[in-house]
Amino acid sequence: MKKNTRKKSIVHLLIGVCMLLTLSSCLKEDFTQTTDETPNIASFLKNSADYTMFYDAVKQAGAASYLDAWGTYTVFAPNNAAVQRYLQEQGKESLADFADEEIKLLVTQHIVEDTVSTGNFKDGKITKNSVAGLFITTSVVSEGGQAKIVLNKESTILLPNQRTGNGLVHGVDKVFTPITRTLVEQIQADPNLSLFAEALAATGLDVLLGKVAANEYFSVLTVTNEVFAQRGFHNLQDLKDKYSHTGNPRNTTDSLYMHMSYHIVKDLKYVSDLMLQSSHTTTVPNEIVLVKVDKERVLINEEEWLGTIELGAEVDRTKSDVTTKNGVLHYLKDNIFIKQRLPFPIYWDPANQPELKTAGIYKRASMSVPYNLIKDITLANTSNYYYGYPQTGNSAGAVNDDLLNFNLRTAVLPWVEMRTPVIVKGRYKVWIAWRRVESNQGPNMIDIYLNGVQLSRQLNTGEYRNTTLNPRELEAIGYKRVTTTGSNVHNCKMVGIIDIDFTDRHILRLETKTNRAAELQLDMIHFIPVDMEQIYPQFDANGNPVYPI
Amino acid sequence: MKTIKRYITWSIICCGILSGSCTKWMDIKPENGLVAQDFWQTKEHVRSAVNGIYISLLNSNLAEQLFVHGELRTDMVELTTFTNLQLDEYRYANLNSSNPSVHWAPFYRIINFCNNVIENAPKVKDIDPTLTQADLDAYIGEALAIRAWMYLNLGRIWGDVPLKLNYTASDEEELNIAKSGQADIFAAVVADLVRAEPMVKETFGTTTAADKGKVTKYTVNALLADVYLWQDDFQKAAAACDVLINSGKFDLVPGNPSSWLNVLFATGNSIEGIFELQYDRQFLNNFIALFSLNPRYQVGQNVYENLYMIDETDPENFDIRGNRGSLDASTGQIYKYQAINRDVRKTLEESYTHWFVYRYADVLLMKAEALNGMEQGEKALELIYQVRERANALVFNDLAPNENDFQGITSFLVDERAREFAYEGKRWFDVLRHARRNNYARLDLITNMVMSYAPPDRQQAMLNKYRDPGSHYLPIYFTELQMNKALVQNPFYGN
């Protein structure tokens, strides 16, 4: 009896287990099939409270599929109120009233194929264009003590940096106005620029600024009627009278043509781009505009020239940075002019660098200069160089009592590049003064390049200065004496004649293909116009010029 | 039958074993440490808990935190190639809540250690009668003062922060605490300090290191002066400074170029020191690594030339705080923390220059600030010149403001503080404190400073952000927002 019951219960147990197994296999278990549950951009918009109308537009434009797929995007999503307002402005009842092309442009100009968080924003445009191919600019404005991030000068970010599965969403309060104007159209649209527009038309430059071509952009520094009036130009005739010396402003050598085209800077440059470099090429051949930053002010062509300060024109930062299809428009608070400069000699001590002065070293002490300290000197690698002061023994007598020593040899430092002071366009002889050094194996041979063009003569680091020839004979074979006190270890050689095409700072490169243990101990570099005195002045150890008595 | 008996015997044995092991398991304690129930029994426990607070000041990387928050947003430093993106974003006003620099954990960690002492130490008195009331008060006073210092930091770095004044022992407690306003935080700081002032000791009567490394009555008064200045309560700030000035225990280290740097900084605990974080050979800091080996921060572009300035005509006439004082001009490195003296640097094994929370020069200049606030310009200038003379400040940067020109004195004072406390984690707070006074009457102090170091392509964005006072305080780190549902992000940083 007992045995029987036990058997029965085992059978029951087995049946029970079997039933359980069948049951569990019947139930379909709900596995999560994704590794991440973060919504993608399209579903983020769809499920948001305030961006559903933009989602409808995205869907209508056919962008919903890729905004819900793998990728990296940034979407500047206008909220419902913004889309509603846009509909009203356009006089439409609903999104469905837009043509396919219109809605496509509307949507794609809010999408960037990259992840751009507000942390990447700088003054000016974001690095990548929208899918529609248009620029998006960013700025921060302060309104009533509150900072706001504003896009395209019109649309404020309300909801920044919403991270989704395939990129970022920034909620904004206004639909971007599609950029439809060219530079010319933009200039013509502003009544304050009517004279500027007239002058452009008279010179035929309006054609250039009306053309839209891939990768061809201009930045126009415009001048308002008011500013022209301050300078005494009230109408086109005034401008013609002053500038148009050939009588035909369409002639590219006519001064009015050149004056107007001097206001057109090549490439797309927002104010912040202008600030980053000290000079920018214009559409006038070989003419540049100089940019100086004084705290918040950006000044065009303000410079110290031969000891006097020439006042420049300030950029009106609040009005500037107007984006168009083929460039950007700026407003100046004064007019700018091409300046006629006559070539003059440059006696340059390459050690006279602001960084060395800031460090309190220049003409004060020696120092091993870290390779990246001086921003105007670029090296082939990270070898440091040496600023030597004062010079003693037979090195004594160097100009300014200092030398800049580069271990220029293929195994250590194959080349070095220096940015020169501003050199006015013209034809120059280039002189290099150095202290001669050579090793047991001999000297290094150094090639000199200016803006990538090799000069005709090499430098032999081991060469002594010839002391037997008289100065003019020496000049005739391309040497001179630069220091008044130094011995014949201080040499100076004319390394070539160059044509400087435009007034600017240029790049001088010293390069060697030899590998001797002989440094280049650089003292001075002279750029002297060919038709001027070449061998005077000489210099004493304090850097004072000395003329023959 | 036999089998059943055997079963019964075995099960009894098993039960015995099991129940035995059960009790022991319930009762097991770590062999090499104390658990909470066994702590807070003797006066030694109180003492070690307070010492623990001081250790936490050293081992929670507090000094670098204070350096970053106090210097990164200023013209005193420049970032180098060794820096990282998070510092870059911090410096160029692109902070968001996921930037690890904005994590306030180190401050609250120390606050919790303080709360532990303040809450639990009084109970020990009943258990261990050898703990005197005076000693107990001193211990609690020290914890109160350090907690106040931490909240002062939180208040001036984040603005509004949660005020947690009781001990947190485990995660199970209610930790959803809303923010208190900055004014309430400062009020709490004052309350703690006023309570601590009569409790703490005037001197520990042992070593100078104890008197300079632990909280004394003078530390508390220096802190009080500081927080009163943040509250614009000049009367009380001056009074707190006077406690130190009239004590006769402090003086400026003489400005002898060959010894000044060594006595005040390299050795530390000088007559000028009030409260210093006591790094030593056993407890090194990472300053040498930070400022010399892989320098993340170096000297700002204009510091030597425009702040300290150079006498071109006489090389012997120099500000001792300039080249080879606070900075090394030839390498652009921050020199203060790696100097043995003007000529010799410390090695990595000697990186124990203290962190200076307060020193006497600070008290003098805090008093000058208070006097200037009370429109006593002449007396304020006297104190500023006292500090300048010690350092042989050059005449070129003597702005020589008129004694009634209170704005002029303010500018002069802010500059002088920059020179005197270069790289001591004070610059940003000095500029902010002066700028925000009288409803941001001197916002120009901030904007001018930002303009001097902002890169051109960020200048406008940075300036317009700094014109919004919301940007002067940091965002709350995102993990804090996730864990503490009562927290709301600071409005400037949006969602």
pLDDT digits (tens, 9 = 90+) for A455-470: 999 999 999 999 899 9
Using alpha carbons only, give the angle B111, B115, B116 rounded to the nearest 5 degrees: 120
pLDDT digit string, tens, across residues A254-281: 999 999 999 999 888 899 888 887 788 8
Candidates A48, A141, A142, partner chain B, best to mutate (most B CBs within 10 A): A142
Residues ≥6 apart with Cβ < 8 Å to A414: A380, A381, A408, A511, A512, A513
What number of other Cβ atoms are within 10 A of residue A447's Cβ?
16
Q: Which chain B residue lies closest to A365 (C-alpha atoms)? A: B330
Candidates B457, B462, B482, B490, partner chain A, best to mutate (most A CBs within 10 A): B457
- C-alpha B180/C-alpha B193 separation (Å) is 18
Which of B330, B461, B466 lies closest to A123 in CB terms? B461
Residues of chain A with CATH 2.60.120.260: 346-546
Q: Which chain A residue lies closest to B455 (C-alpha atoms)? A: A276
Our CA-based measurement puts residue A122 at a distance from the nearest CA of chain B, in whole angstroms, of 5
A357 near B CB under 8 A? yes
Decide: residue B374, CB within 10 A, 0-12 exposed, 13-18 middle, 19+ buried: middle
| CA separation, residue A14 to residues A4, A10, A11, A19 (Å) | 16, 6, 5, 9
Beta bridge partners of A421: none
Residue A27 has pLDDT above 70, yes or no: no
> What percent of chain B is predicted at pLDDT more than 70?
95
A273/B494 Cβ within 8 A: no
The whole-number average pLDDT for the span A201-216 is 89
* Of the options 2.60.40.10, 3.30.830.10, 1.25.40.390, 3.40.50.300, the CATH number for the domain spanning B37-200+423-493: 1.25.40.390
A161/B458 Cβ within 8 A: no
Provide, as residue numbers in chain A, all residues whose Cβ is less than 8 Å from the Cβ of B459.
Answer: 123, 272, 275, 296
Residue B313 has pLDDT above 70, yes or no: yes
Farthest-apart Cα atoms in chain B, separation = 116
Shortest CA distance to A284 belongs to which of A239, A320, A336? A336
**Lowest mean pLDDT segment, chosen from A77-86, A161-170, A287-296, A476-485:** A287-296
Q: How far apart are the first and last CA of chain A?
A: 143
B465/A147 Cβ within 8 A: yes
Helix axes B377-391, B360-373, angle to 10 degrees: 160
Q: Identify the pLDDT of residue B96.
A: 87
CATH (residue range A41-172): 2.30.180.10
| B13 confidence band (pLDDT: 50, 70, 90) | low
Rounding to the nearest 10 degrees, give the CA dihedral for residues B66, B71, B73, B75: 180
> What percent of chain A is predicted at pLDDT more than 70?
94
CA atoms within 13 A on the CB side of B304: 30
Provide, as residue numbers in chain B, all residues whose Cβ is less than 8 Å from the Cβ of A160.
Answer: 494-495
Q: Which chain B residue lies closest to A387 (C-alpha atoms)? A: B330
Our CA-based measurement puts residue A389 at a distance from the nearest CA of chain B, in whole angstroms, of 13
The whole-number average pLDDT for the span A340-359 is 83
Which stretches of chain B sit within 8 Å of chain A by CB? 81, 89, 94, 96, 301, 304-305, 310, 315, 323, 329-332, 440, 448, 451, 456-471, 492, 494-495
| B10 confidence band (pLDDT: 50, 70, 90) | low
pLDDT digit string, tens, across residues B419-428: 999 999 999 9
Q: Identify the pLDDT of residue A325.
A: 86
Q: pTM of the full predicted structure?
A: 0.77
| B301 confidence band (pLDDT: 50, 70, 90) | confident
| Mean of per-residue pLDDT scores for chain A | 87
Provide, as residue numbers in chain A, all residues whose Cβ is less than 8 Å from the Cβ of B467.
Answer: 142, 145, 147
Provide, as residue numbers in chain B, all residues whose Cβ is less than 8 Å from the Cβ of A295.
Answer: 448, 451
Which of A141, A147, A361 lies closest to B330 in CB terms? A361
Interface of A with B in 149-188 (CB under 8 A): 159-162
Residue A296 has pLDDT above 90, yes or no: no
Q: What would the two tokens of residue A164 be? A: 């989704």
Q: Identify the pLDDT of residue A21.
A: 59
Cis check for the bond before A390: say yes or no (omega within 30 of 0): yes
Q: Identify the pLDDT of residue B118.
A: 96
Which of B96, B301, B494 lies closest to A358 in CB terms? B301
- C-alpha A366/C-alpha A389 separation (Å) is 5
3-state helix, strand, coil in chain B (%, to 5): 60, 5, 35
Our CA-based measurement puts residue B106 at a distance from the nearest CA of chain A, in whole angstroms, of 25
Q: Identify the pLDDT of residue B488.
A: 92
- C-alpha B228/C-alpha B222 separation (Å) is 10
| A161 confidence band (pLDDT: 50, 70, 90) | confident
String of DSSP letters for B185-247: HHHHHHHHHHHHTTTS-S--SS-HHHHHHS--HHHHHHHHHHHHHHTT-HHHHHHHHHHHHTT
Q: Identify the pLDDT of residue B431.
A: 97
B329/A360 Cβ within 8 A: yes
Which of A119, A145, A293 lies closest to B469 in CB terms? A145
Q: Identify the pLDDT of residue B472.
A: 96
Per the listing, tokens 């407690």 go with B173
Q: Which chain A residue lies closest to B92 (C-alpha atoms)? A: A119
Residue A547 has pLDDT above 80, yes or no: yes
Rounding to the nearest 10 degrees, give the CA dihedral for residues A129, A135, A136, A138: 110
| A393 confidence band (pLDDT: 50, 70, 90) | confident
A354 near B CB under 8 A? no
The whole-number average pLDDT for the span B193-215 is 95
Q: Identify the pLDDT of residue A5.
A: 64
- C-alpha A438/C-alpha A54 separation (Å) is 74
- Fold classified for A346-546: Jelly Rolls (2.60.120)
Residue A494 has pLDDT above 60, yes or no: yes
A160/B329 Cβ within 8 A: no
A142/B331 Cβ within 8 A: no
- C-alpha B175/C-alpha B234 separation (Å) is 36
Residue B482 has pLDDT above 70, yes or no: yes
A94 near B CB under 8 A? no
A124/B459 Cβ within 8 A: no
Query: Could you check whether B37-200+423-493 and B249-420 share the same CATH topology?
Result: yes
> What percent of chain B is predicted at pLDDT more than 90?
77
A470 near B CB under 8 A? no
pLDDT digit string, tens, across residues B406-439: 999 999 999 999 999 999 999 999 999 999 999 9
Q: Which chain B residue lies closest to A118 (C-alpha atoms)? A: B94
Shortest CA distance to B403 belongs to which of B433, B432, B371, B430? B371
Residues ≥6 apart with Cβ < 8 Å to B484: B162, B175, B176, B177
Residue A23 has pLDDT above 60, yes or no: no
Provide, as residue numbers in chain B, all residues whose Cβ is less than 8 Å from the Cβ of A141.
Answer: 464
| B2 confidence band (pLDDT: 50, 70, 90) | low
- C-alpha A370/C-alpha A383 separation (Å) is 8
Q: Identify the pLDDT of residue B30.
A: 74
Provide, as residue numbers in chain A, all residues whose Cβ is less than 8 Å from the Cβ of B305.
Answer: 357-358, 360
Handedness of CA B260, B261, B263, B269 (dihedral sign): positive
Contact A345, A527 (CB under 8 A): yes
Q: Identify the pLDDT of residue B191.
A: 97
DSSP A381: S
Q: Identify the pLDDT of residue B3.
A: 64
A358 near B CB under 8 A? yes
Our CA-based measurement puts residue B429 at a distance from the nearest CA of chain A, in whole angstroms, of 20
* Domain parsing of chain B, residue ranges: 37-200+423-493, 249-420
- Fold classified for A183-332: FAS1 domain (2.30.180)
Q: ipTM score here?
A: 0.73
- C-alpha A477/C-alpha A355 separation (Å) is 37
Residues of chain A with CATH 2.30.180.10: 41-172, 183-332
Decide: residue A106, CB within 10 A, 0-12 exposed, 13-18 middle, 19+ buried: buried
A296/B451 Cβ within 8 A: yes
Shortest CA distance to B180 belongs to which of B197, B198, B155? B155
Q: Which chain B residue lies closest to A318 (C-alpha atoms)? A: B460
Residue A24 has pLDDT above 60, yes or no: no
Q: Which chain B residue lies closest to A272 (C-alpha atoms)? A: B457
Interface of A with B in 253-312 (CB under 8 A): 272-273, 275-276, 293, 295-296
Contact A541, A444 (CB under 8 A): no
**Lowest mean pLDDT segment, chosen from B49-53, B115-119, B300-304:** B300-304
Contacts across the A-B interface (CB distance below 8 Å): 95
Per the listing, tokens 């250039």 go with A208
Q: Identify the pLDDT of residue A397.
A: 85
A317/B467 Cβ within 8 A: no
Higher pLDDT, B417 or B29: B417
CATH (residue range B249-420): 1.25.40.390
- C-alpha B190/C-alpha B241 separation (Å) is 15
Which of B448, B458, B468 lies closest to A123 in CB terms? B458
| CA separation, residue A524 to residues A398, A401, A484, A527 (Å) | 9, 11, 14, 10
Q: What would the two tokens of residue A82 be? A: 């913004």
Helix (H), strand (E) at residue A22: helix A2-26
Residue A515 has pLDDT above 80, yes or no: yes
Which of A147, A272, A373 lies closest to B467 in CB terms? A147
